[in-house]
Amino acid sequence: MKAILALEDGTIFRGESFGAQGTVTGEVCFNTSMTGYQEILTDPSYRGQIVTMTYPEIGNYGVCEEDNESACPQVRGFAVAEVARLHSNWRCRESLQDWMTRHGIPGIEGIDTRMLTKLLRTKGAQRACLTTELSEQEAVAAAQAAPPMAGSDFVTEVSTPQVYHWEEESRDWKLPNKTTGDLSLYAELPPIRYRIVAFDFGIKRNILRCLRRDGFDVTVVPAHTKAEEVLALQPDGIFLSNGPGDPSALPDIYAELQKLLGKLPIFGICLGHQLLGLAFGGKTFKLKFGHRGGNQPVKDLRTGKVAITSQNHGFAVDDSSLPEDVEVTHINLNDGTVEGLRHKTLPIFCVQYHPEAAPGPKDATYFFSEFIGLIEDFKAGKYNS
């Protein structure tokens, strides 16, 4: 079946339908990763968006449910140059096409994704309509009528409705060792060292796995949980997760976070980083086309080291708006935007990118260990003066 992707500026991309049929609208964005399409499709940070991949062939290793970052696909639609007709992976359970059909996610293939990406880089992110039903004129009108990402709150849609304790499989994969007789596929988990509360703004499962692997016992709470409810749980620290949409559209959330500043050690990732920037009294702004992919270079200003990072965000913290007691620790080497913050006197730090996504593959995983160090320093009284 034929499908079209229409942009709000009137540009039309004609291709073939795969996955589910129907009509969806949302902001169209591009991701430069070569692999990881399943993690991308199930990342709650993509809520409200139509994603296109710059890598030409997608779907060659099928879908493995264990690799989902959430319970179901979160994107509105998917646009690729070509869908693999055959998939090969000993862990996969079904093809990408069948999985998308089962979950009701429409896709379009056979379009010029390079042209689409260049258009978005030049003109900026655009609203779009992916459809197998509408005419080209109707699809353009639908794209123009779609709500913009700026001002949109998708966190309420993806956050957990109730408190829960993370108890899912968190062990790291490892290779069997025939020499020693250790044929297990998983490494052992460390003992619990500290209890933390994680705000779910659209949290990825691998973040929870990484936190458990570093010795954290994790209780996950809804996005709109009050500060006093968090403190009543008596955690050793607080984690702020990734999530979708515009951080400035969440004033009730960062108002609650302001009440937690200085009370406990806090570590934030992605949207959690942006919300901390707002809680500090700073501002955020929308990027022209966002940072999405596994090849974003980030410099640690404290050490001079550069890490290749995985990112997925369309907004950033305005460094000129931050108070003097907040330090910029990391910057993006492509455009100089803020990638990390640390409070100079309070036990708080955050990063814009995803240390759990392992594009380096482990360039940035040290942040979870830094969180442990922050908690230990706080318990030792180093932040009481």
In order of start, what are the domains of the chain with their CATH numbers? 2-145 (3.50.30.20), 155-379 (3.40.50.880)
Give the other-Cβ count within 10 Å of 214's Cβ. 18
Burial of 361 (0-12, 13-18, 19+ CB in 10 A): exposed
Residue 187 is given by DSSP the state P
Active-site residue, from 29, 210, 270, 350: 270
- Three-state secondary structure string covering 143-185: HHHCCCCCCCCCHHHHCCCCCEECCCCCCCECCCECCCCECCC
Identify the CA nearest to 95 among candidates 37, 32, 47. Answer: 37
Residue 199 token pair: 């705000």
> 67-82: per-residue pLDDT in tens?
999 999 999 999 999 9
Question: Which residues sit opposite 127 in a β-bridge?
Answer: 27
Q: Is 27 a catalytic residue?
A: no
pLDDT score, position 183: 66
pLDDT score, position 5: 98
Q: Is 356 a catalytic residue?
A: yes
What's the pTM? 0.95
> 152-208: per-residue pLDDT in tens?
999 999 999 999 999 988 888 777 777 777 767 778 888 999 999 999 999 999 999
Residue that the structure tokens 């006197």 belong to: 345
Q: Is 354 a catalytic residue?
A: yes
Rg (CA), the chain: 21
Residue-by-residue pLDDT tens, the chain, 385 positions: 999 999 999 999 999 999 999 999 999 999 999 999 999 999 999 999 999 999 999 999 999 998 999 999 999 999 999 999 999 998 899 999 999 999 999 999 999 999 999 999 999 999 999 999 999 999 999 999 999 999 999 999 999 999 999 998 888 877 777 777 776 777 888 899 999 999 999 999 999 999 999 999 999 999 999 999 999 999 999 999 999 999 999 999 999 999 999 999 999 999 999 999 999 999 999 999 999 999 899 999 999 999 999 999 999 999 999 999 999 999 999 999 999 999 999 999 999 999 887 766 676 678 999 999 999 999 999 987 5
Instruction: Supply φ then ψ for residue 64, to 5 degrees.
Output: -120, 115
**Strand 266-269 relative to strand 216-222: parallel, antiparallel, unpaired?**
unpaired
pLDDT score, position 312: 95
Burial of 78 (0-12, 13-18, 19+ CB in 10 A): buried
DSSP per-residue letters across 75-120: -SEEE-SEE-SS---TT--B-HHHHHHHHT-EEEESS-HHHHHHHH
Question: Which residues sit opposite 222 in a β-bridge?
Answer: 200
pLDDT score, position 118: 97
Asked if residues 170 and 215 have their Cβ atoms less than 8 Å apart, the reply is no
